[in-house]
Amino acid sequence: MKLSNTFFGVLFLFVTTLSAQKSLENIEQKIITAYKMSVKTKTDQFQSVHKILNSLDSKENSKAVYWIAFSKYQQARFSNRINHEKAAFKLLKEGIQKLKSIKNPNSEELVLHGTMLSFSIMFQRNIAAIISGKAHTLYDKALHKNKKNLRAYLAIGKSDYFKPVQYGGGFKAESYLKQALSKPDKSTDASFAPTWGRELVYYYLASFLHRENRIEEANSYGKQGLKKFPNSDILKSLVDKLNKK
Amino acid sequence: MKKIICLFFFLISLFTTAQTTISGHIKDSKGRPIDLVNIYLKDVFDGSVTDTKGKFTFNTNIKGKAILSVSSLGYVSIEKEITIGLENLIFDFVLQDATGNLDEIVISAGVFDASDKKKSSILKPLDIVTNPGANGDIYAALATLPGVTPVGNETGLFVRGGEASETKTIIDGTLVASPFFSTVPDIPSRGRFDPFLFKGTLFSTGGYSAQYGQALSSVLVLNTNDMPSKSSYSFDINMAGLGASYTKVWKEKTAVLASIGYTNLSTLFSLVPQNKVWDTAPNGTSASIGFRHRTENGGFYKSFLQYNTSAIALNFKTTGSEAPNSTFSNSSKNVFWNNSFSGYLNDHWKVLLTGSLSFNEDKDQFNEHGSLEKDWLAQSRITLSRRLGKAQIRFGGEMQLFKNEFTTNEDLTIIDNTLTAVYAESDIKFSKKLALRVGLRGEQASVIDKSNIMPRLSLSYRLGRKSLLSFAYGHFYQTPQKEYVRKTTQIDFESATHYIANFQWKTKQRLFRIEAYFKDYEHLIKQASNLSLNNRGTGFSKGIDVFWRDEKSIEKLTYWLSYSLVDSKRFYRNFPIEATPIFVSKHNVSLVANYKLTPLVRAGFAYSYASGKPYVNPNNDAFLADTTIDYHNLNFSASYLASIFGNFSVIFASIKNPFSFKQVFGYRYSDDGTQRSPILPSTNWSFFAGISISLE
């Protein structure tokens, strides 16, 4: 009894110490869950995430800028999904402002900045080429800083996937998305470094191959993706579509 | 509690040992690592992709027998049965080149294709629009391709030793009677059509399809854009004029496109020193309206109406004469209205219907002598196509009603010609390695009351995954130019026979092609000693074209290098002996490069070289034995994508021949041959700048 008390006491102390020191623990998963729950319930479920991020003191906050911007990105995705376009655009601008405030952004921050800029094209299509150009500059810098960054390859591959063929699109997507797959989820050993993106890589790679009428390969990547992300709705629907072919 | 702790650690150890790591390397037959290979357990879908060292690693929870699948585009896939236990597994694979696993074979001899859809395309549509040497002129962009000789004082494309009139422009299946703006001697003019109108450009430098005729050397097939993606406005202002365009799209099914423009080069000419004396700097207006409609059953209707006016007047110094200068002026009007419908008759047959009307009026004045020329052309075409087993067949017919009225010194001559043609063609793909195109075209021209039959044949054989060998043969006829028909209709078609051999090596980002050709001219119009005309003229043109395009070697740089060797001689028109015509340069080189400085800033240059061309020297008994100095030209261009008041804008600038390379296109001699003056470009150097703003 004494031993078990000691064990649980130590365990509790360890856990509480960690959570006290690292308020950002599992923040990525929390934000993604908030997005998924919001989509499921069609109501904004980001309050708890905001509470955590707002509760950070100024020192922690400087480390958490990435996650604040990321939560705004995910919230913008949700707002756009329920046709609250103005709110989505506002969230993106806020997130981009946060990222712009970083003096010497790292590879992950640069990619997120570019990704949010790219998403903002939806709300300012008339200057799409210019924003896309700015986003690409950020992606290039991100890759220059860290060649292992899966999300940088994803961003470039995805951008090429959406780029009209007459403007040179569709040539890099496959290569960049496959390179993304060959990279680790985390680009650095830093605490709280992001890990998201692999699910999207599988999705865009399979979609690209589908578009190219390479159905067998598309199926292979779609199913590999689904094996790794069995709860992925986008991969499920894509694989279903491919299996109907 | 001890039990609980033991159970906890046991579960952890079980969890960590339950996964098996499968790793290894994948190389090609030469021992080089292959990256981006897909490697996974079949039906299980645990897997990974190789990195740049050909290395892969992934984990799986399954145990027992499984199939490991290894695949990469261009290599023979491998499937290996493996047994997965508790031990980690390491595999090394060697993938063989998949020469049997090929892309669809395409007929490529003689064809330069700029398309956003076809894998066979050699250029992208943007390569045409952004060509630094072209200033937005399709024809100037094509002049950087092999087989085209730059002729700085003439209008048109001079392809493989052919005259400009031997190249025809086809828009959406119909012939364009006057593809260039009208001009005066020594001043080359631009194409009438905005390069942004077209989604695809197919430039055939020889051996082209039986669908087309009336071109001894080459056809340029332009396909206009389909449905615009969104409604928009745009405004352009540049040093030569201004313009505006409007596009309205309804439900992605119907669209109206309209544009207007005004051009006047006088401001630009006042800023750049001129070699010519302009009475009226080139100026013009243009207006166009287009319509697109997609029908419920997949049919697509396109209509395009364009109206142009232009005016130009040049003051010539009469060489070696005390006489006052001469004035040559031209004013013109042009209307082009094109309609096309493509759709399916049923599950198998596809139909393309086209019809067009065009009118061109040229008023020329040389001192006190005036002339007025009017051309009307009405044409229609139907093409039916379907797949039949391994063959794609197409056949159809066309009719062109042409009328020309030429008035000079109060004399009026009229040419009426009805050209009817039928054609049939089939692309047969015997295998993934071998394809054949065989075609036949027959024509009848009422003005000379003659008919002809033209066989066409192309063969492509794939040597490997990236390389292709092609051959083409074809017989081509062309009704003599109107200045000859005006004199007599007792003449026959001019003809040429093309023989082409082509080797092409192509990857996604690099292309090398070399093409050898022989063009045998027969029945060319020849002026007899009594000035009567006959078809006894002959000629030949042979040479090699080399093309290299690369967008891989240097990041952000796309460049292409063209070289043409042309050996051409003719005994035609008023030539006393067989000689190389004045529009032929033996060696031609062009280098075009576009560099993306940042995603928003692009810069490029185009350099052209042509060895000297022959010119007539009355003091030399040998006919066309003298040649001009070699031609060098260098153009730079840059563009910047900007947001102006939140609107997408392109700011562009270019400079032509900044080092003022001396360019001489020929000489004009005094009547007694004692004095001569060089034929020079209108400026030694020039620049251009403008801005285009798009609004939604």
Provide DSSP, B292-360: EEE-TTS-EEEEEEEEEEEEEEEEEPPTT--SPPEEEEEEEEEEEEEEEEEEESSSS-EEEEEEEEEEE
CA–CA separation, B501 and B545 (whole Å): 10
Query: How big is the CA angle at B110 (ends B106 and B112), to the nearest 5 degrees?
Result: 75
Q: Are residues B667 and B553 part of one domain?
A: yes
Q: Are residues B219 and B122 part of one domain?
A: yes
> Residue B70's closest CA among B103, B119, B22, B107?
B22
Asked, for residue B631, whether it belongs to a domain, the answer is yes
Residue of higher predicted confidence among B134 and B14: B134
CA–CA separation, B193 and B198 (whole Å): 9
Q: Are residues B80 and B183 part of one domain?
A: no
Mean pLDDT, rounded, of chain A: 85
- Using the predicted structure, report yes or no on whether residue B299 has a pLDDT greater than 60: yes
DSSP secondary structure of B137-187:
-HHHHHTTSTTB---TTS-S--BTT--GGGEEEEETTEE-S--B----TT-
Q: Nearest CA of chain A to the CA of B685: how many Å?
A: 31
Side-chain-side CA neighbours of residue A119 (13 Å): 27
The mean pLDDT of B421-444, rounded to a whole number, is 92
Q: Are residues B79 and B118 part of one domain?
A: no
Nearest residue of B to residue A220 by CA position? B45
CA–CA separation, A78 and B13 (whole Å): 40
Binned at pLDDT 50, 70 and 90, residue B106 comes out as: low
Given B62, B95, B128, the domain boundary residue is: B95
Assigned token pair, A232: 């992925």
| Contacts for B120 with CB less than 8 Å, ≥ 6 apart | B106, B108, B113
Binned at pLDDT 50, 70 and 90, residue B591 comes out as: very high
Report the side by side order of strands in the sheet with B89-95: B55-60, B20-28, B89-95
pLDDT tens track for B449-504: 999 999 999 999 988 878 889 999 999 999 999 999 999 999 999 999 999 999 99
DSSP secondary structure of B570-630:
EE-BT-SS-B--TT--SEEEEEEEEEEEETTEEEEEEEEEEPPPEE--TT-SSTT-EEPPP
pLDDT tens track for A36-51: 899 989 999 999 998 8
pLDDT tens track for B119-163: 556 666 667 777 887 888 889 888 888 999 988 889 999 999 999
Q: Under a CB-based contact definition with an 8 Å cutoff, are residues B505 and B520 in contact?
A: no
Assigned token pair, A223: 């199913």
Q: Is B239 exposed, middle or buried (0-12, 13-18, 19+ CB in 10 A)?
A: middle
Assigned token pair, A158: 């995805």
pLDDT tens track for A92-147: 999 999 999 998 999 999 999 999 999 998 888 778 878 888 899 999 999 999 99
pLDDT of residue B389: 84
Q: Are residues B603 and B460 part of one domain?
A: yes
Mean pLDDT, rounded, of chain B: 88
The mean pLDDT of B261-278, rounded to a whole number, is 93
User: For residue B94, what is the enclosing H or E element?
Assistant: strand B89-95
Number of domains in chain B: 2
Using a CB–CB cutoff of 8 Å, tell me whether B23 touches chain A: no
Using a CB–CB cutoff of 8 Å, tell me whether B46 touches chain A: yes
CA–CA separation, B393 and B422 (whole Å): 14
Residue B379: count of CB within 10 angstroms of its CB: 20
Q: Nearest CA of chain B to the CA of A66: how many Å?
A: 24
pLDDT tens track for B164-174: 999 999 999 89
When scoring B2, B4, B39, B49 by the number of chain A Cβ atoms within 10 A, the one with the most, hence best to mutate, is B49
CA–CA separation, B451 and B418 (whole Å): 12
Residues of A within 8 A of B71 (CB-CB) are: 217, 220
Instruction: Compute and round to an integer the Cα radius of gyration of chain A.
Output: 20
Q: Is B335 exposed, middle or buried (0-12, 13-18, 19+ CB in 10 A)?
A: middle
User: For residue B104, what is the enclosing H or E element?
Assistant: none
pLDDT of residue B98: 64
Asked, for residue B10, whether it belongs to a domain, the answer is no
- Using the predicted structure, report yes or no on whether residue A21 has a pLDDT greater than 50: no
Using a CB–CB cutoff of 8 Å, tell me whether B74 touches chain A: no
Residue of higher predicted confidence among A50 and B539: B539
Answer left, alpha or beta for residue B50, where phi above 0 means left and psi between -120 and 50 means alpha. Answer: beta
Asked, for residue B105, whether it belongs to a domain, the answer is no
Given B95, B121, B148, the domain boundary residue is: B95
Question: For chains A and B, what is the number of CB pairs under 8 angstroms?
Answer: 92
Helices (H) and strands (E) in chain B, counts: 5, 38
Asked, for residue B160, whether it belongs to a domain, the answer is yes
DSSP secondary structure of B500-540:
EEEEEEE-SSEEEEEEEEEEEEEEEEEE-TTS-EEEEEEEE
Length of chain B: 696
Q: Nearest CA of chain A to the CA of B668: how many Å?
A: 45
Q: Are residues B255 and B394 part of one domain?
A: yes
Helices (H) and strands (E) in chain A, counts: 12, 0
- Using the predicted structure, report yes or no on whether residue A61 has a pLDDT greater than 90: no
Q: Are residues B371 and B396 part of one domain?
A: yes
Instruction: Identify which of B4, B117, B508 has the shortest CB distance to residue A171.
Output: B508
ipTM score for this prediction: 0.72
- Using the predicted structure, report yes or no on whether residue B608 has a pLDDT greater than 80: yes
Q: Nearest CA of chain B to the CA of A25: how many Å?
A: 22
> Residue A174's closest CA among A225, A220, A212?
A212
| Contacts for A162 with CB less than 8 Å, ≥ 6 apart | A169
CA–CA separation, B199 and B115 (whole Å): 7
Percent of chain B with pLDDT over 70: 92
Looking up residue B76, the CATH number of its domain turns out to be 2.60.40.10
Q: Are residues B156 and B79 part of one domain?
A: no
Q: Are residues B372 and B233 part of one domain?
A: yes
Per-residue exposure over A93-132, b if at least 16 CB sit within 10 Å of its own CB, e if not:
eebbebbeeeeebbbbbbbbbbbbbbbbbebbebbbbbbb
Residue B427: count of CB within 10 angstroms of its CB: 22
Instruction: Identify which of A125, A130, A182 has the shortest CB distance to residue B36.
Output: A182
pLDDT of residue B196: 80
Length of chain A: 245
Asked, for residue B416, whether it belongs to a domain, the answer is no
Q: Nearest CA of chain A to the CA of B178: how many Å?
A: 28
pLDDT of residue B600: 82
Q: Which amino acid is at B476?
A: F
Binned at pLDDT 50, 70 and 90, residue A20 comes out as: very low
CA–CA separation, B503 and B459 (whole Å): 12
Q: Nearest CA of chain B to the CA of A170: how many Å?
A: 10
- Using the predicted structure, report yes or no on whether residue A19 has a pLDDT greater than 50: no
CA–CA separation, B684 and B662 (whole Å): 7
Asked, for residue B654, whether it belongs to a domain, the answer is yes
Q: Which amino acid is at A213?
A: N
Residue of higher predicted confidence among A201 and A125: A201
pLDDT of residue B130: 75
The mean pLDDT of B394-402, rounded to a whole number, is 96
| Contacts for B115 with CB less than 8 Å, ≥ 6 apart | B121, B124, B125, B199, B200, B201, B202
The mean pLDDT of B661-668, rounded to a whole number, is 93
Judged by CB atoms closer than 8 Å, whether chains meet at A166 and B48 is answered as no
Least confident of A7-16, B196-205, B464-473, B552-561: A7-16
Given B95, B125, B143, the domain boundary residue is: B95
pLDDT tens track for B48-100: 889 888 999 988 888 888 889 898 877 888 888 898 888 889 999 998 876 54
- Using the predicted structure, report yes or no on whether residue B284 has a pLDDT greater than 60: yes
The mean pLDDT of B591-607, rounded to a whole number, is 90
Q: Are residues B654 and B691 part of one domain?
A: yes
Using a CB–CB cutoff of 8 Å, tell me whether B4 touches chain A: yes
Q: Under a CB-based contact definition with an 8 Å cutoff, are residues A187 and A107 in contact?
A: yes
Q: Are residues B91 and B115 part of one domain?
A: no
Q: Are residues B89 and B172 part of one domain?
A: no
Q: Which amino acid is at B592?
A: V
Binned at pLDDT 50, 70 and 90, residue A220 comes out as: very high
Q: Is B267 exposed, middle or buried (0-12, 13-18, 19+ CB in 10 A)?
A: exposed
Residue of higher predicted confidence among B352 and B118: B352
Looking up residue B470, the CATH number of its domain turns out to be 2.40.170.20
When scoring A124, A149, A224 by the number of chain B Cβ atoms within 10 A, the one with the most, hence best to mutate, is A224
Question: Token match 């292959």: residue?
Answer: B34
The mean pLDDT of A3-10, rounded to a whole number, is 49
Residues of A within 8 A of B232 (CB-CB) are: 126
Asked, for residue B12, whether it belongs to a domain, the answer is no
Q: SS3 string of B182-221? A: CCCCCCCCCECCCHHHEEEEEEECCCCCCCCCCCCCEEEE
Residues of B within 8 A of A166 (CB-CB) are: 116, 124-126, 199
User: Is B679 strand, coil or helix?
Assistant: strand
Assigned token pair, B52: 């740049």
Domain that holds residue B43: 18-95
pLDDT of residue B102: 47
pLDDT of residue B692: 84
Q: Which amino acid is at B623?
A: F
DSSP 8-class letter at B480: P
Least confident of A128-142, B1-15, B143-157, B429-443: B1-15
- Using the predicted structure, report yes or no on whether residue B11 has a pLDDT greater than 60: no
Q: Under a CB-based contact definition with an 8 Å cutoff, are residues B259 and B246 in contact?
A: yes
Q: Is the pTM of this model over 0.80?
A: no
Asked, for residue B102, whether it belongs to a domain, the answer is no
Binned at pLDDT 50, 70 and 90, residue B286 comes out as: very high
Assigned token pair, B507: 């990857």
The mean pLDDT of B511-517, rounded to a whole number, is 93
Using a CB–CB cutoff of 8 Å, tell me whether B117 touches chain A: yes
